[in-house]
Structure 1
């Protein structure tokens, strides 16, 4: 993982797989600076090299979605972005983050598909028999996960477990807000010829206890987008569900690495194809 930047007036406090977090050196300023990097991760490893301009594309897309959903309280704070990270950072309120990944699925694929094949359920929710990988679900499902500590895998959990973690009222608010956000975003994506198959929201509470949408929102790193026409006409699951994200990286790595030791460096062609998918998504959504 690359070293944190030196940004005048800000001190580095945390690095995730993709984002770096900075706190103001002014004790009276409680805002945080959230910086998106070009790092790309797969199978819990940060890979090399990064994807050029990925940090800028993720930040632009997240900012665009926050604007589309501006009536929902969020973590965006006012102020000037330092020149050193212009274009790939946002100022955010300091929140008490909730330990829940609020996943909403409108289509069945990924870990949801794997569970369905095994048990006919997703996060314990029974589904109709006969679904195929990539099929649209009868209605969007709230399928939460528990946010594991750094270096550990997130764990899919039931709604009842969410109630245990945050209480019945807050759990219902998380579920209802997440499904409403997904439904709105999916309709916007559909107008652009895109399917929002699933997404992950994160929330925190401010000093008044208000629930606020936080972190990134509806980006290529937190969501699966498919081309609607290809989904309808594709001959194979891989064609139908070609996503606008790092799936190209995952597929190459799965075919060229046995998951032992450090992963190999990504070839230039894989990096360029991945960058093009990120760019295409934001161009189609936001212009």
Structure 2
């Protein structure tokens, strides 16, 4: 497939063909009641088949400085743009109401997934989730996650084939329809975390055999494990449930052969991700992978890869000194937002949660972009704020 020009980076999900010479900046009708779509639904399949994976990034001459996480002109630029975009987040989509070929919609915590028959349309929204619920909407988040996953999908094809077909919009991915395994492969390199299912939480409560992994005595929070481990969970509707590999096979969630293949790929992906991340100045602490079986029976990597939503990242240059002094690592993910909610409410039981402060929301937007730019060594294209 031939490359297509980069889309105009705005909050538009306008789908275009490779021959298009100009792009609309108007929101299509499934995002705004004031706008119209820019293609005929009957053309959607033909257009999807001609798409190729593109990255909405521009190569920089220098890798972003880690010091720039706290103080930099670029940070100020992103924070201002994020504040201006707070009212323009992509929080809801309804493609199925306007495109007849899309049969149904499944609303996930972050992604809206549409059934297109032989393919799926995945829209990565700006919704922010933690504690198995949506906490806020973060400007630019959907585009950052999509861009980050695409970069890692391209980098890891030698380890695990993936389901990606095309990316017609910065927030949209077209993927092969797979038979998804009802198991998430959570891979961990450190004893850390703040949620009820985090490794540190269960460890400090005395658990020494977790999801089939024997944990040594005497470990402290944020310490590196002797070896990377997999702590799988079932993909329950309301919350994830830890499970052992033996239980996965016994309950018929996966065959032994499929589990062995997927777990091997998960560990290899994580080891590769750790190596690449460290080369770029950050530590990949833990992450989760999802797999499915493609039409030909092959095990494919799906969903997302090494994003700040699915992964925990720390700044490498300060980890050792902070760990030795009993300080929390400098994180580049959503952990600080988790901690804010835990200190202001019970995010597991309270029916109504407080609104996340604006400064935390815009800070998270910056951290996601900072991480993307640090790892990919490319400049994130900040969407232009559209005027209605």
- State the 1:214 CA deviation: 0.4
Q: Confirm whether residue 122 of structure 1 aligns to residue 232 of structure 2.
A: no
Q: Which moved more, 1:186-195 or 1:36-45?
A: 36-45
Secondary structure, aligned partner of 2:165:
coil
CA distance in 1 between counterparts of 2:335 and 2:161 reads 31
Q: What does the per-residue CA deviation read over 1:137-171, in whole Å, with 9 as the maximum and x for residues that have no partner?
A: 111111111111x2x21111111112223122111
The answer to whether structure 1 residue 13 and structure 2 residue 100 are counterparts is: no
Contact 1:61–1:282 under 8 Å retained in 2: yes
Match of 1:147 in 2: 235
Q: Which runs of 5+ in 2 are unaligned?
A: 1-89, 378-388
Residues in 2 aligned to 1:53 and 1:159: alpha-carbon distance in whole angstroms: 37
Q: Which residue matches 1:172?
A: 260
Q: Say if 1:248 and 1:273, in contact at 8 Å, map to a contact too.
A: no
Q: Which residue of 2 aligns with 1:163?
A: 249
* 1:54-86, Cα deviation, whole Å (9 max, x unpaired): 0000000000000100222110114x61xxxx2
Q: Which moved more, 1:226-235 or 1:206-215?
A: 226-235
User: Once structures 1 and 2 are overlaid, which stretch shifts more, 250-259 or 190-199?
Assistant: 250-259
Which residue is 2:298 aligned to? 210
Give me the TM-score of the superposition, normalised by structure 2.
0.67
| 1:67-114 deviations in Å (ceiling 9; x for gaps) | 100222110114x61xxxx21111100000001101111111121122
Partner of 1:266: 356
Tell me, in whole angstroms, the C-alpha distance in 2 between the residues paired with 1:23 and 1:238: 46
Between 168-177 and 112-121, the greater mean CA deviation after superposition: 112-121
Of 262, 279, 285 in structure 1, the residue corresponding to residue 369 of structure 2 is 279
1:61 match: 148
- The CA distance in 2 between the partners of 1:258 and 1:104, in whole Å, is 27
Secondary structure, in 3 states, of the residue corresponding to 2:305?
Answer: coil
Does residue 77 of the first structure (1) align with residue 165 of the second (2)? yes
Answer yes or no: is 1:138 the counterpart of 2:226.
Answer: yes
Q: Which moved more, 1:51-60 or 1:253-262?
A: 253-262
Greater displacement, 165-174 / 91-100: 165-174
Q: Which runs of 5+ in 1 are unaligned?
A: none
Counterpart in the other structure of 1:33 = 121
**How far has the Cα of 1:8 moved from its partner?**
4.3
Q: Name the SS for the 2:106 alignment partner.
A: strand
Cα deviation per residue 1:187-226 (whole Å; 9 max; x = unaligned)? 1111011111111000000122100000111111111111
Deviation at 1:232, TM superposition (A): 1.1
Work out the CA distance in 2 between the residues paired with 1:188 and 1:115: 29
Distance apart, 1:261 and its partner CA:
2.5
Q: Distance in 2 between matches of 1:213 and 1:13?
A: 21
Mapped partners of 1:8, 1:109: distance in 2? 44
Rounded Cα–Cα distance in structure 1 between residues aligned with 2:300 and 2:183: 13
Larger Rg belongs to: 2
| Residue in structure 2 matched with residue 94 of structure 1 by the alignment | 177
Give TM-score, length-normalised by structure 1.
0.89
- Residue equivalent to 2:340: 252
Provide the aligned length of Structure 1 versus Structure 2. 274
Say whether residues 1:104 and 2:182 are aligned partners: no
